[in-house]
Amino acid sequence: METRVFPLAILLGIAVLMASCSTSGAAESGSFSFGDNFDIMWSEDHFKTSADGQVWYLSLDKETGCGFQTKQRYRFGWFSMKLKLVGGDSAGVVTAYYMCSDPGAGPERDELDFEFLGNRTGQPYTIQTNVYKSGVGGREMRHMLWFDPTEDFHTYSILWNNHQIVFFVDRVPIRVYKNTEKPNDFFPNEKPMWMFSSIWNADDWATRGGLEKTDWKKAPFVSSYKDFNADGCQWEDPYPACVSTTTHNWWDQYEAWHLYDSQKEDFAWVQRNLVIYDYCKDTERYTKQPWECSLSPWD
């Protein structure tokens, strides 16, 4: 795999984007309160924080994992978190970072997924992304990474507006999921979603299709989190004023409806080098290509 060196134009574009992302829900460093922004979903005894409260740790052992969710729902916006994944032998372990319209993962949910699939020591992590609309998923993509995600924190982000959903890793777009003006059953744009993160055992499928099982002698497995950023439309019943198409927010302005040129360059490199699986190209699974696969991510 080629070594990626980002041109100055890309780095400047990233800097502009970072400057435009005002934080809603995350305070200045040193003053962030986990309890003000999140709820523990289960196994509070498997959740810890650093002494200053700025880094959060979820652990998995043979008994259970752990998870948390935002108190607030959102409909469209920019959502990011820094994660450091389980190191060493993490086969069977899944760290999930995702948005979902139903805390109970109900049959009609909308969902946007990052899932980090562990592996045996020395083997690379895999990122799986997925999109659900009204309970229908099956839109998986899998990517390799260009770094070891267990050595340091890296930023994983979702841009969601009425025109596209983009999954970013360190501000590099790895997946683009487009909408169309025609009525459709594949683009989630109606239901507000919470942001979640969790760690759990999935050794029935996560590593080499379930061939590699979790080695519980290596437990507890710990994933680390910090610097949550939500710059989005906070949902207010019955209907918020900041829904998409107002173009009041940067994440809904024209520039956020498409990849800009430097992002396209990064995305092309990812497509050439890092894609392991794309459901749109799985002709055995889908004898008829899903309709959304005909939409160009470049437009």
Residues that are catalytic: 111, 115
Comparing CA positions, the residue from 111, 212, 115, 103 lying closest to residue 156 is 115
Q: Three-class SS of residue 14?
A: helix
Q: Which two tokens stand for residue 139?
A: 């839109």
Comparing CA positions, the residue from 292, 228, 270 lying closest to residue 74 is 228
Query: What DSSP character marks residue 287?
Result: S
Strands 93-100 and 194-201: antiparallel
> How far is 110 from 99, CA to CA, in rounded Å?
8
Burial pattern 77-112, b for ≥16 Cβ within 10 A else e, equals bbbbbbbbbbbebbbbbbbbbbbbbbeeeeeebbbb
Backbone angles phi, psi at 27, to 5 degrees: -85, 180
Sequence-distant contacts of 245-248: CB under 8 A, at least 24 apart:
245/162
> How far is 59 from 45, CA to CA, in rounded Å?
9
Helices (H), the chain: 8-20, 34-37, 261-273
| Max CA distance (Å), the chain | 54
Comparing CA positions, the residue from 251, 231, 253 lying closest to residue 79 is 231
